[in-house]
Amino acid sequence: MRDVAVIGIGCTTFGEKWGTSFRDLFLEAGALALEDANLSGEGIDALYVGNMSAGRFVEQEHIGALIADYSGMASRHIPSTRVESACCSGGLAFRQAVIAVASGLEDVVVAAGVEKMTDVETSTSVDALAAAADREWEGFVGATFPGLYAMIANDYMHRYPLTREQLAQVAVKNHYNGARNPIAQFRSEITIDTVLRSSLVADPLRLFDCSPITDGAAAVILAPLERAREFTDAPVRVLATAQASDTIALHDRRDISTLDATVVAGRRALEMARLTPSEIDLVEVHDCFTIAEICAIEDLGFCRKGEGGRLTEEGETALGGRIPVNTSGGLKACGHPVGATGIKQVCEVVQQLRGDAGRRQVEGAEIGMTHNVGGTGASVAVHILGRA
């Protein structure tokens, strides 16, 4: 297998982008990534696109072909593949692209993610997102995504020490970071009171415990490491790619408060990179809800089970802390265009490793990790990136 490098990144701003269509979102991110890699588009061998539910959100399927066409690649007939794994679609698109380059089959490959979520009413998007859970046996009885994660939170708080304030601190920290990220959907700082005074969505989770509905796209360009310096002075090496799955329904899990797929994918990634959690300088985790970040930092091995709340409260996961988590603002503040999130996480880590993260820069960052979850933990992708 060949070593693989990220040679270009591009990300739209995230938010409610009424003026921008599905295809325009993708084109904007793709163009930024090509420009970043000093490529015209002619050198691209293949496209992988993470997208969860264009069928429900914009009534469009066949996304691979659509994007190849509007990117001007139809006449070159390059392979273009849509990758779907709910909110983990972007992470898996990245992994597919890494595997394609590592195998030697393809050289310069685009891994992208896109989701246009605000062309339908909120209740429709809530229902489309619920399709990431088991429709027949969870959705049928009234389960929503906030509801499922709320049941994780209640189970967790029943078994481990975690205060409501510690949970709110996850959102406070991620808004602080988001306020320092030019692409973030929410660029305002909040307090613990903001979270505790927001309306209940599914007890104990409140509105400010939840990631928003977002339009956005992100793209990265991959090449063999040996060719990376043809395109960029600051290539970032892919040190590990890992993926794991688990039961689709939360009720069938071994342990409701532990995402076993995160544990396994995290362990596989660390083994592949021959690293320990203490050697990771920053991590982008899948904080679709505040409780999800607490579970993620524990399940990835940054602290023991039950210590996530204290770690957050003590500022160890904030900028300047022992292990900065979600410097982009995470899904909570940067926004969560579901299919794009996994790629945006890679963009953030690459920016950090290049030293280009401005006011949210982690000083001297050399190794970063991304953690992207589908559903309540039925699919997980973990990647580790390092300065080349």
Partner 1 sequence: MSVPRFWRKIRQRYNLEGTRCTSCGRTFYPPRSFCPDCRRAGETVPFRFRGRGEIVTFTVIRTASDAFAQQTPFVLAIIQLEEGPRVTGQVVLEDVSEARIGMRVRPVFRRIGTEGESGVIYYGTKYVPDVPYPDA
Minimum distance from residue 210 beta carbon to partner 1 (Å): 10
Kindly report whether the peptide bond that precedes residue 204 is cis, defined as omega within 30 degrees of 0.
Answer: yes
Interface segment toward partner 1; rule CB under 8 A; list 84-92, 121-129, 169-177, 319-327: 121-129
- Minimum separation from the CB atom of position 164 to partner 1 (A): 14
Residue 197 as a binder of partner 1 (CB under 8 A): the answer is no
- Catalytic one among 175, 286, 336, 371? 336
Looking at 19, 142, 320, 364, which residue binds partner 1 (CB under 8 A)? Answer: 142
Binding of partner 1 by 295 (CB under 8 A): no
Q: Which of 42, 59, 252, 356 binds partner 1 (CB under 8 A)?
A: 252
- Total H helices, total E strands in the chain: 13, 11
In whole angstroms, the minimum distance from the beta carbon of 243 to partner 1 comes to 19
Query: Is 378 an interacting residue with respect to partner 1 (CB under 8 A)?
Result: no
Is 336 designated active site? yes
Mind giving me the DSSP string for 192-253? HHHHHHSPEEETTEEGGGB----BEEEEEEEEEGGGGGGT-SS-EEEEEEEEEE--SSGGGS
**Among residues 1, 19, 77, 141, the one that binds partner 1 under rule CB under 8 A:** 141
- From the number of C-beta atoms within 10 Å of its C-beta (0-12, 13-18, 19+), residue 131 rates as middle
Give the full edge-to-edge strand order of the sheet including 367-374. Answer: 80-83, 46-50, 109-115, 216-224, 4-11, 236-245, 379-387, 367-374, 282-284
Interface segment toward partner 1; rule CB under 8 A; list 98-106, 197-205, 216-224, 332-340 = 197-205
Q: Pick from 103, 140, 197, 356: which binds partner 1 (CB under 8 A)?
A: 140
Query: Residue 143 or 222: which CB sits closer to partner 1?
Result: 143
Q: Which one among 1, 18, 75, 199 touches partner 1, defined by CB under 8 A? A: 199
Is 203 one of the binding residues for partner 1 (CB under 8 A)? yes
Show the tokens assigned to 116. Answer: 């246009």
Shortest separation between residue 131's beta carbon and partner 1, angstroms:
11
For 57-123, the DSSP string reads HTS---HHHHHHHHTT-GGGT--EEEE-BTBTHHHHHHHHHHHHHHHTS-SSEEEEEEE--TTS-HH
Choose among 287, 279, 282, 238: nearest CA to 262.
287
How far apart are the C-alpha atoms of 52 and 23, rounded to whole Å?
15
**Is 87 part of the annotated catalytic residue set?**
yes
- Among residues 169, 138, 145, 67, which one has the least CA distance to residue 336? 145
CB of 49 to partner 1, least distance (A): 27
CB 45, CB 106: distance < 8 Å: yes
Does residue 42 bind partner 1 (CB under 8 A)? Answer: no
**Cβ closest to partner 1, residue 16 vs residue 252:** 252
Note whether 193 binds partner 1 by CB under 8 A: no
Report in angstroms how near the CB of residue 203 gets to partner 1 at its nearest.
Answer: 4
- Near partner 1 by CB under 8 A: residue from 4, 39, 130, 331: 130
- Tell me: does residue 307 bind partner 1 (CB under 8 A): no
Spatial separation of the C-alpha atoms in residues 277 and 322, rounded to whole Å: 11
Using the rule CB under 8 A, is 256 a contact of partner 1? Answer: yes
Q: Which is nearer to partner 1, 230 or 260 (CB)?
A: 260
The answer to the question of residue 151 lying near partner 1 (CB under 8 A) is yes
Report the alpha-carbon distance of residue 114 to residue 132 in Å, rounded: 17
The set of residues, in sequence order, having a beta carbon less than 8 Å from that of 326 and lying 6+ positions away, is: 173, 174, 177, 283, 284, 285, 287, 293, 317, 332, 334
Which positions are catalytic? 87, 336
Instruction: Give me the residues that bind partner 1 (CB under 8 A), please.
Output: 123, 126-127, 130, 134-138, 140-144, 146-147, 150-155, 158, 199-205, 249-252, 256
